[in-house]
Amino acid sequence: MRHSDVMAVVAHLARHFAPVVDFVYPPRCPSCGMAIASQAGLCADCWSSLEVPAHAEAAGHAMPVYAATYYNDTSRKLVLAYKHGGRIALSRLLARLMAARLPEPEAGRPLPLLVPVPLHRWRLWNRGFNQAALLARDLAKMGKGEAAVGVLLRHRLTPNLGGLGREAREKVLTGAIRLGSGAAKQINGRDVVLVDDVLTSGATSRACIAAIAAAGPASIAVACFARVEEDHKHAHP
């Protein structure tokens, strides 16, 4: 059976059993817990509390940054539930909000490579999944590019960057992220979108961008679900 046929069967089964799932597990807002109409959404109050940037911003980066939201109490709860609460089904919701911010791929050009920020293998083993990789795969399903998991590797385990200043973060990440085998050839001449869940100081994204830039991409952009700004300070998850 072809992959497309398998996906059609899965989609049919999902629609068929949705009422049963909703009966056993009544839909609730993943941010506040209020009852809602479907499994893939937020309540009206939480929707309205998300702060959406007016346009792509490049502050601190030499390329556009497409953020679905600013990092506030509501987006923080979603990220915590997704990354640390095991709610990996939230990936599609977060990716959908990110996809709305990303420009449509340019006609006549290869699809952009959607490159997730990598996790070290020990952190990946402990968490069980790379949240950025799931977002990249869902964005690819939404037609925003080609998921390119494995392009970047975090070959050295780094400590949590929370609480560190900018210079300390940069020092910790120096040499920690590099291209995977064969990635340079894959990147050369292609548009690349670096994908992550939260963009804070930008130290991790700058380390990733430096590795990507060495391979000669046509362009680099950053896509994230939530972006921390000076006026939107909250503890990083």
| Phi, psi of 38, rounded to the nearest 5 degrees | -140, 165
**Phi, psi (5° rounding) for residue 157?**
-70, 125
pLDDT above 70 covers a percentage of the chain that reads 73
Topology of 50-232 in CATH?
Rossmann fold (3.40.50)
- Asked whether the beta carbons of 129 and 85 are under 8 A apart, the reply is no
User: What element of type H or E holds 209?
Assistant: helix 203-213
Average pLDDT, the chain: 80
Structure tokens at 2: 């072809």
* Cα–Cα distance, 187 to 194 (Å, whole number): 12
Neighbouring-strand partners of residue 152: 179
Model pLDDT for residues 194-208, shown as the tens digit of each residue:
999 999 877 888 889
Ramachandran region, residue 188 (left: φ > 0; alpha: ψ -120 to 50; beta: rest): beta
Q: Which pLDDT band holds residue 4 (cuts at 50, 70, 90)?
A: very low
Stretch 133-153: mean pLDDT: 95
User: What average pLDDT does range 146-153 have in this prediction?
Assistant: 94
| CA–CA gap between residue 220 and residue 99 (Å, rounded) | 16
- Closest among 208, 229, 224 to 78, alpha carbons compared: 224
The SS3 assignment for 205 reads: helix
> Between 152 and 57, whose confidence is greater?
152
Give residue-wise pLDDT tens across range 18-46: 433 343 456 788 888 777 656 567 888 88
Write out the residue limits of the CATH 3.40.50 domain(s) in the chain. 50-232
Q: Is 232 exposed, middle or buried (0-12, 13-18, 19+ CB in 10 A)?
A: middle
- pTM summary value: 0.81
What is the spatial distance between Cα 26 and Cα 13, in angstroms, rounded to a whole number? 18
| Cα 176–chain centre separation | 20
- 192 neighbors 113 (Cβ within 8 angstroms): yes
